[in-house]
Amino acid sequence: MSQRPKIALIGNPNAGKSSLFNSLTGLRQKTGNFPGVTMDKLSGIWEIEPGQEVEILDLPGIYSIYPKSLDEELVINILGNPANEDYPDMAIVVADASNLKRNLLLFSQVRDLGIPTVLALNMIDVAETEGYVINSIKLARELNVEVAEINAKKGIGINGLRLAVGKTLANRYASNDALPLPVDEQMLAGIQLKFGEADPYRSLLWLMEHDRLKMFSPEQRKAFDVIQHEFQFKSEEYKTSETVKRYEALSEVVERCVINLNRQWDAPPVKTWTDRLDSVFLHSVGGYLFFFLLLFVMFQAVFTWAAYPMDAIDAGVAYLNDWLKTVLPASALTGLLTDGLVAGIGGVLIFIPQIAFLFFFIAMLEETGYMSRVMFIMDKLMRRFGLNGKSVVPLISGVACAVPAIMSTRSIGSWKDRLITIMVTPLMSCSARLPIYTVLISLVVPEKSTLFGLFNLQGLALFGMYLLGFVMAIVSAWVMKQILQVKERSYFIMELPTYKAPRFKHMAISILNSVKAFVFEAGKIIVAISIVLWVLASYGPGDSMSQVDAQVRQANPTLSSAELSNRIASEKLENSYAGHFGHFIEPVIKPLGYDWKIGIALITSFAAREVFVGTMSTIYSLGGEVDDENATIKNRMRAEINPETGKPLYDAALGFSLLIFYAFAMQCMSTLATTYRETKSWKYPAIQFFYMTALAYLTAFITYQMLA
Amino acid sequence: MNTRKTLAELKIGERAEIIGFTDALLSLKLLEMGCLPGSEIEMTHLAPFGDPLAIKVSGYTLTMRKDEAATIQINLLNN
């Protein structure tokens, strides 16, 4: 069997490309990576007729083939390079019929590249309610392509599209014309001589965009520069005149193929639902009010609703662990499987509910079109700090979990703005910090104290921690804005799509893809680190570990068996490799007020900060169910005496120092893994790790030294 | 009265006709997004603090920042 033909799905943002993709491929989709680009590649299989399958590639929405951001570059790197592994056999250009002229601009460019193209006219119903009637048969004749009328959302017209695609695949006819605007024939000949025969428009694209095309080597780029210079060819001028010229030609086509009923009736424009909703959502007061109300509901959901499935997963994993321990013979291997591997996998799985909920809300905001409104009302504020209106969403999501938050930065077109957003998002206090905050605040802030007899000080302190995270995030963003010198023009020219009812199937697919990506990509690393930690905490140098048991028994003959095993566990920890590491780093963390035990917690927390409470409870020889006995850990920590001063170890200075440290330190392997995945470079997770840890160390140091 | 202005000076509810662009790079983007010389636009929304702004052009809504709007030359239309 021959390979499946590849079809690229191309269109303006909001033209219905994703709907069509989902209608065609259903669940037969897979996400992958475009080589070397920070974009997920979404492809799927469409059975065009029984036994004949084609591969559909969903390309990012664009307005023209000339890229304005790094994300859009992807499209010309595929369409401009026949040697690209994703180069399509043909293209389907999805056009919003209610905005035909603008949508046809992209179509005409794709066609002129020499790619066989089918035009899929979407949203004809919308066009008709707005008073436009399109003669698609005439349009097909004028443009010399197969035209299919579809309703992507309802999946109507797919059979017509099948026919059109089948015909085009059979004859591979690319109806490209001559160049939209003539250029020097000699220049074109020069390009073709040097870089091979190609359609004239493709050769010209190479010349104009050679710096963005990865197919060309630095030497070849220089050769293009020479040609450009020799013929005094001004790319930007050409692109602008070309666009104007194309519009002129398309205007005539549209004039002939579209009947505008409004013109005949001269009816006043109707106030649409979108207009009515926007008068609330974009209102200078009401817009903010609604937005904050929405945030409130969202966090309620992520924190409270997700808690039930999270508890269930936690209990399930614990049950599985106990069951494995009873069934399997006690051995090092069993220990690795249960406390190392199963616990590690559990640590991954437990985040699924929050990620799913968060992506549900984000998908909902995106699906309905509300997300663009949030960007609109927040842009001015965020811009002052080197961010972008589009950074709001990741920053908000970061309060639940930085992993999906960083994944959601993909909607930010400007690479610089996106990078800064990725870098500062982990400073937002995520849900894993919440238990740490709770324990530490209860240690250092008196329970019954209130401010002006009104506000509970503990609650206020907790709120303060969240505020601190946000303030540090935007301050860091501002600093990075000063440092980062990327020559990329940031635009905020953006279309506000009309409001649409969410398509739940589409949302389900998007949530499923995000969860899958998280479990498999970030999960691999979390599991690996969990295993390493387990080994480090279970084994020690020489035979010190095996002697602990006997020594503790000898030293404490009167202890009950439960207390005894706790004491043994704690002694073992001190003698394990992790314990040695704790002692080893003690000099470094001493200025922050920490001892070796906190040192172990810090080290283990570098994999994932949520292990802090667990590690603390092991260290203070509690073991067992942690969450149920928070009070007991608290009491044990409260009882801990500083051997040098004879006063309680967890005084305000240490407590606040630890709080600040955990607020700012980069202690989450999954976040680093996600940053790597999203930036496709180890440089950025490394910078993220070091700047955040340095920030944490410095601020904790200052806090401790000022309070001590 | 001189009715020539830039888009940045338009008030909410006012309509105008696009005359031209002053920034070569931005003009390409604007053209591609459907802001063509001769087309009619209406200022529909201003974000809090007056920036960015939203306009209606041939049936859809575009947002842009004030400094981007200042590169669009317009001719005020009588309502």
Above pLDDT 90, what percent of chain A? 24
Q: List pLDDT tens digits, range A462-518.
A: 878 888 998 999 999 999 988 887 666 667 888 888 888 887 877 887 788 777 777
Closest chain A CA to residue B35: A102
Does the pLDDT at position B25 exceed 90?
A: no
Q: What is the pLDDT of residue A270?
A: 64
Nearest to B47 among A66, A68, A377 (CB): A377
Nearest to A493 among B30, B47, B51 (CB): B30
Q: What is the pLDDT of residue A412?
A: 77
Beta bridge partner(s), residue B15: B42
Rounded Cα distance, A618 and A125, in Å: 64
Closest chain A CA to residue B69: A493
**Pair A424, A661: CB distance under 8 Å:** no
Does the pLDDT at position A268 exceed 60?
A: no
Q: One-letter amino acid identity for A483? A: I
Asked if A98 has any chain B CB less than 8 Å from its own CB, the reply is: yes
Does the pLDDT at position A185 exceed 60?
A: yes
Average pLDDT over residues A83-97: 92
Q: What is the pLDDT of residue B1?
A: 45
Asked if A586 has any chain B CB less than 8 Å from its own CB, the reply is: no
Average pLDDT over residues A151-158: 85
Whether the predicted interface score ipTM is above 0.95: no
Closest CA to A6 of A112, A66, A79: A79
H helices of A132-217, in order, are 136-143, 158-171, 185-195, 200-209
Does the pLDDT at position A626 exceed 50?
A: no
Q: What is the pLDDT of residue B49?
A: 81
Cβ contact A494–B59 (<8 Å): no
**Pair A659, A441: CB distance under 8 Å:** yes
Q: For the ranges A98-112, A196-210, A345-359, A686-700, which has the lowest average pLDDT?
A: A345-359
Q: Which CATH class is domain B4-76?
A: mainly beta
Average pLDDT over residues A98-127: 90
Beta bridge partner(s), residue A451: A455
HSE (side-chain half, CA atoms, 13 Å) at A465: 28
Q: List pLDDT tens digits, range A283-317.
A: 878 888 998 888 777 766 766 777 788 888 888 88
Domain ranges of chain A: 185-243
Rounded Cα distance, A393 and A428, in Å: 12
The DSSP annotation for A226-277 comes to: HHHHHTT--HHHHHHHHHHHHHHHHHHHHHHHEEEHHHHHTPPPP--HHHHH
Q: What is the pLDDT of residue A25?
A: 85
pLDDT band for position A689 (cuts 50, 70, 90): very high
Cβ contact A493–B47 (<8 Å): no
Rounded to the nearest angstrom, the minimum Cα separation between B58 and chain A is: 8
Does the pLDDT at position A630 exceed 50?
A: no
pLDDT band for position A124 (cuts 50, 70, 90): confident
Q: What is the pLDDT of residue A662?
A: 94
Query: CA B56 → CA A378, A530, B34, B61, distances in Å?
Result: 20, 54, 11, 5
Does the pLDDT at position A422 exceed 80?
A: yes
Q: What is the pLDDT of residue A631?
A: 44
Neighbours of A4 (CB within 10 A): 15
Which residues does chain A have within 8 Å of residue B60's beta carbon, measured at their own beta carbons?
Answer: 99, 495-496, 498
Select from A62, A208, A496 the residue whose CB has the most chain B CBs within 10 Å, as the one to mutate to test that interface. A496
Above pLDDT 70, what percent of chain A? 86
Rounded Cα distance, B62 and A370, in Å: 14
Which residues does chain B have within 8 Å of residue A286's beta carbon, measured at their own beta carbons?
Answer: none
The token pair that represents A702 in the structure block: 């200052």
Beta bridge partner(s), residue A20: none
Rounded Cα distance, B33 and B62, in Å: 8
Q: State chain B's maximal CA–CA distance in angstroms.
A: 32
Q: For the ranges A177-191, A270-284, A351-365, A609-623, which has the lowest average pLDDT?
A: A609-623
pLDDT band for position A628 (cuts 50, 70, 90): very low
Cβ contact B26–A68 (<8 Å): no
Asked if A249 has any chain B CB less than 8 Å from its own CB, the reply is: no
Average pLDDT over residues A668-680: 85
Closest chain B CA to residue A242: B28
Q: What is the pLDDT of residue A516?
A: 79
Average pLDDT over residues A140-145: 90
The token pair that represents A486 in the structure block: 């990327």
pLDDT band for position A338 (cuts 50, 70, 90): confident
State the Cα torsion A253-A258-A261-A267 to the nearest 10°: -60
Cβ contact B25–A489 (<8 Å): yes
